[in-house]
Amino acid sequence: MILIYADHDRGELDPLALQVVSAARGLDADVHALIVGPNAEKCIDDLASAGVLTVHHGTNAAIDDYTPRANASAVVTVMDRLEPRAVLAAGTPRGSEVLAHVASIKDLPLVTECSEIALTGPGTAEVTRARWGGNLLERSEVSADVLLATAQAHAFAVSEDAGDAQVEAFDVPVTDADLEVSIVERTGAAETGVGLAEAKVVISGGRGMDGPEAFGMLEELADILGGAVGCSRVVTAAGWRPHAEQVGQTGTKVAPDLYIAFGISGATQHIAGCKSAKTLIAVNTDGQAPIMTHADYAVVDNLHTLLPVLIEKARAAQGA
């Protein structure tokens, strides 16, 4: 039996939870899911339609929003009762946080960001996981009676299965320490304009932009194409653009239809964030820059003279 920890935010199931169900079904048909907190009814339906046989719904009057350690306590409760062979979660900040708490409580190893998982024997498993933001793959053997793992986003395709799931409600046992850290507030505005992570077109600038001024031209081009502006780490470290626009291993990972890299050399830190783009265009004065090996189309030219012309022609084409 495989247990998955399914996260939700105020009743909205984490879409990656369905991919985790697929990962679990690849190991064993007997898949149980755990969901914690109020407003989980719709999530339970969603999990059933992905092939989960039993959904354990843990509640406690003291849990009204995401509370990492209380959620871990719920996982441990179900683990102790059902003795699953593996517990899986999504490779998100919450998924790895909850399983890290579980791993600490149960003194078990935890493997994160797995793209392949195989149970190879009693107490052993083999996984493939990402290192260096996916620039390197690690194959490892894990020794544990219960495998704890998070699944890399988009490594497992969602499978449909219009089944019904049995729902088992239970009380989550919590201590004061379990309840100490939880979401107390949400701030910030909802997304305005096109969000970088979901954008179909990303127009990015790097060191070759020579300062914050030329980014105005990237904004213009992004506007015409209905896209978002991105940048490399050099740019945020210099304070030219806000960190929210950084594409890369320690920034946002994007997967647009079109990615244009203006004046970006192509360090692994940056490639980790843009390698999923369907089409990549590199504009650089250096035809030998590493970004060129990742590009579908290359323009070896000065971006400062190219951009005004390109904007004019793109605007004319859009208006035509």
Partner 1 sequence: MDICVCIKRYPSLGSAIMLTDDGMAIDTDKLGFTLSPHEECAVEAAVQLKEEHGGTVTLISMGPEGVEEQIREQFAIGADRAIWIRSDSTDIDPQAAAKAIGDAIEADETAFDLILLGSESADNANAQTGVRLAHRLGRPVATAIKGMTIADGVATCERAVGTMREVYRVRLPAVVTVKDGLNIPRYPSVPGRIKARKKPIDEVAADLDGARIQLKGLTAPIRESKGAQALGAGDEAADALVDVMKQIGVLS
Query: Phi/psi at 211 (nearest 5 deg)?
Result: 145, 175
Cβ proximity to partner 1, 52 vs 202, nearer residue: 202
**226 binds partner 1, rule: CB under 8 A:** yes
Footprint of partner 1 on 286-315 (CB under 8 A): 290, 292-301, 305-306, 309-310, 313-314
Count of residues in contact with partner 1, rule CB under 8 A:
98
Give the x/- contact pattern for partner 1 in 83-102, rule: CB under 8 A.
----------x--xx-xxx-
Residue 247 in the binding site for partner 1 (CB under 8 A): no
Nearer to partner 1, 53 or 105 (CB): 105
Choosing from 39, 104, 120, 166, the residue that interacts with partner 1 (CB under 8 A) is 104
260 token code pair: 């244009």
Q: Alpha-carbon distance 101 to 82, whole Å?
A: 19
Closest of 88, 79, 100, 103 to residue 151, by C-alpha: 88
Say if residues 209 and 219 touch (Cβ distance below 8 Å).
no
Residues 115-144 that bind partner 1 (CB under 8 A): 126, 130-144
Cβ neighbors of 149 (< 8 A, separation 6 or more) are: 86, 87, 88, 89, 99, 110, 111, 112, 114, 117, 125, 127, 142
CA pseudo-torsion sign 106, 110, 116, 119? negative
**According to the binding rule CB under 8 A, does residue 197 interact with partner 1?**
yes
Q: Toward partner 1, which CB reaches closer, 84 or 91?
A: 91
Q: Does 267 bind partner 1 (CB under 8 A)?
A: yes
Give whichever of 165 and 292 is closer to partner 1, judged by the CB atom: 292
Q: How far is the CB of 93 from partner 1 (least distance, A)?
A: 4
Judged by CB under 8 A, does residue 219 bind partner 1? no
Nearer to partner 1, 93 or 163 (CB): 93
Q: Report whether 75 contacts 58 (CB < 8 A).
A: no
Coil vs helix vs strand at 147: strand
* Residue nearer to partner 1 on the CB measure, 169 or 238: 238
User: Which pair of tokens denotes residue 160?
Assistant: 């449909």
What is the identity of the amino acid at 225?
L
Cα-based distances in Å from 211 to 53, 227, 252, 273 = 56, 21, 21, 22
Q: Please report whether residue 182 would count as binding partner 1 according to CB under 8 A.
A: yes
Instruction: Select from 202, 182, 260, 273 the least CA-distant residue to 233.
Output: 273
Residue from 157, 160, 186, 211 touching partner 1 (CB under 8 A): that is 186
Q: Compute the C-alpha angle 50/51/56, nearest 5°.
A: 100
Cβ closer to partner 1: 159 or 279? 279
Please give the residues from 28 up to 67 whose contact with partner 1 meets the rule CB under 8 A: 66
User: In the complex with partner 1, which residue's Cβ is closer, 53 or 275?
Assistant: 275
CB of 148 to partner 1, least distance (A): 9
Q: Does 239 bind partner 1 (CB under 8 A)?
A: yes
